[in-house]
Chain A
């Protein structure tokens, strides 16, 4: 009888260990939005071959806001995927201070691809204390995109505006001449992080106080620069330069970006390199023919004379601190810094690879709209991040919604931002 129990126990133990071993060699990666899912699917066989580890791709909800909420609830519960991307570096900082991410400083710095990363990618991915919690994937270079063909047909200048006043005046004149909306920056709550990442940040970096985060880590939201940016938005709304109704809808990007701009009913908008591929390029559901000719780019003018482009990290990869097999996840993460993966994402989504050596890759060189934009990477400027920056992003969305509705002026919008961030983070984090 004892032998029988012994055999049963042995079988159960063996099965348990086998199951554990099988689980240990499978790494679950979360990805969202179809273009990114397709990009990752295309390179998974290569990652599996390079690491000897099985990959399971888990599809998450599309909009960034819902994606992050779902991830957060899972991570807070100690579950979730082994590897996932986060939409912005501010989220990497907020997640790492919550203890959700594995510190991969040594792995990334000793990784053979590290030297190939653009300096800006290295700088953006490294925290103030020198630690790294994410693997860079794509960089986004953002600026103003204008309908060159429509403007030239109407006899309107396409020369780079030198400062904010010139840009606003140009937009007023262009609207008067064409009758079309002339300048749109993402605004409002439903655009989520876009109101900050694709609009507010562009202007703030050209204002008289180009950073929010102070040397002591506190957030300076009462600066002149913040007020100047809201003043710029106020002029956009007052002069009816942007389509207000669609911006207040549940999916505010759809009508202006995917319908009005391709139809020539919107003349200028902020965007990144992805617009040449995903929004209006070959992967678009509403493509603009010969997009790189029809659509030109301007750097974002500063308030006073000067101009800049914004560079940021797009969806870097991180490892869940509660992952079952950290070593396997790290191995996969390093493999996910490959040229193949970055080129696949560039091809499907339109971001710019964070490695220099993609310029030697024949597949990347085929992406002709993106190749010239690689020169802008090292010229870019960026906003310094700090813990709690996500709250600033939400505060900006609320403040710009107030402006869209005409409920507040620039000073009122700034007050909405200050109040929201102070309520959310506490007065001790706000200057």
Chain B
């Protein structure tokens, strides 16, 4: 291959990715840079600071690190991501994928039931769950548990974080299952056959063959689900608006509340920049440290 041809190829490839780069620059990189700039000002949506925002240096970041509500929100987000995305969706998604590899009578129905939450718009899903988890005699779940003699509960008040974790697991299993199914299908049947001929039991097959060969898929899933769960907003906002008393104020809702309820765009942007840095760090951890090809 001549050097001239190689140069032409390089330029052609650059030209081909140009539209993507332009879109990325316009809708991702520029807003992110603008958020960094805004985070260094006292810009507000109302009042004098909206008319004449001032450069305040790192004041917003200093305030942020001493803001107990920010750290509380970050802690809530951590538990939410850990239990809903990393544990709940992953385990149940993998279990569903393994279950649906087998042939049984109701397989298409089970498949549809697991995938259905993904087809429902998140606000609709939230409204549905709000009705399900409503307190007193009005809640569907309270009516169900009443059959077993359980007193009506305030599900979204007494167990708010647990409830939004359950709702998010319900919504995310389908995606996890799809990814796990594709990972499982890439494992050769011959390996399973050989293991069975060597007398391996199902547990050994899972531990020695399935799990190790599924690691790239698992970490790809963890990368995508962790980052997208940190950024979750609509489902929880429509269900609880971050309440009661901030118990479900995930970091996305905290940013929204600071920017659009307290009208402090500068401070909200500082929180957003810190969260972006966290997400980038987590992404790099998955991609680099675990050497996963994405």
Task: Note all chain A residues with C-beta closer than 8 A to B46.
Answer: 72, 91, 94-95, 97-98, 390
Whether the pair A388, B241 counts as a contact (CB closer than 8 A) is no
Whether the pair B245, A407 counts as a contact (CB closer than 8 A) is yes
Residue of B whose beta carbon sits closest to that of A391: B262
Check A169 for interface membership: any CB of B closer than 8 A: no
A404 to B244 alpha-carbon distance, docked (Å):
9
Residue of B whose beta carbon sits closest to that of A401: B245
Residue of A whose beta carbon sits closest to that of B48: A97
A189 to B130 alpha-carbon distance, docked (Å):
16
- Shortest C-beta distance, A218 to chain B (Å), equals 14
Check A424 for interface membership: any CB of B closer than 8 A: yes
Check A325 for interface membership: any CB of B closer than 8 A: no
Check A405 for interface membership: any CB of B closer than 8 A: yes
Task: Note all chain B residues with C-beta closer than 8 A to A72.
Answer: 45-46, 260, 263
Whether the pair B45, A189 counts as a contact (CB closer than 8 A) is no
Give the number of residues in A that approach B within 8 Å (Cβ atoms): 34
As a 0/1 sequence over residues 47 to 91 of chain B, the CB contacts with chain A under 8 angstroms (1 = contact) are 110110000000000000001000000000000000000000000
Task: Note all chain A residues with C-beta closer than 8 A to B130.
Answer: 249-250
- Shortest C-beta distance, A320 to chain B (Å), equals 14
As a 0/1 sequence over residues 217 to 247 of chain B, the CB contacts with chain A under 8 angstroms (1 = contact) are 0000000000000000000001111111100
Residue of A whose beta carbon sits closest to that of B139: A245
Q: Which of B156, B238, B261, B265 has the most CB of A within 10 A?
A: B261
Whether the pair A94, B136 counts as a contact (CB closer than 8 A) is no
Check A190 for interface membership: any CB of B closer than 8 A: yes
Whether the pair A248, B51 counts as a contact (CB closer than 8 A) is no
Residue of A whose beta carbon sits closest to that of B68: A419
Residue of B whose beta carbon sits closest to that of A387: B47
Check B205 for interface membership: any CB of A closer than 8 A: no
Chain B positions within 8 Å of A, measured between CB atoms, are 44-48, 50-51, 67, 130, 134-136, 138, 154, 156-157, 238-245, 260-265
Chain A positions within 8 Å of B, measured between CB atoms, are 65, 69, 72-73, 76, 91, 94-95, 97-100, 188-190, 245-246, 248-250, 255, 387-388, 390-391, 394, 398, 401-402, 404-405, 407, 423-424
The contact sample of 14 A-B pairs, CB cut-off 8 A, is A65-B261, A69-B261, A94-B263, A99-B51, A188-B244, A189-B241, A245-B134, A245-B154, A248-B154, A250-B241, A390-B46, A391-B262, A394-B261, A405-B245
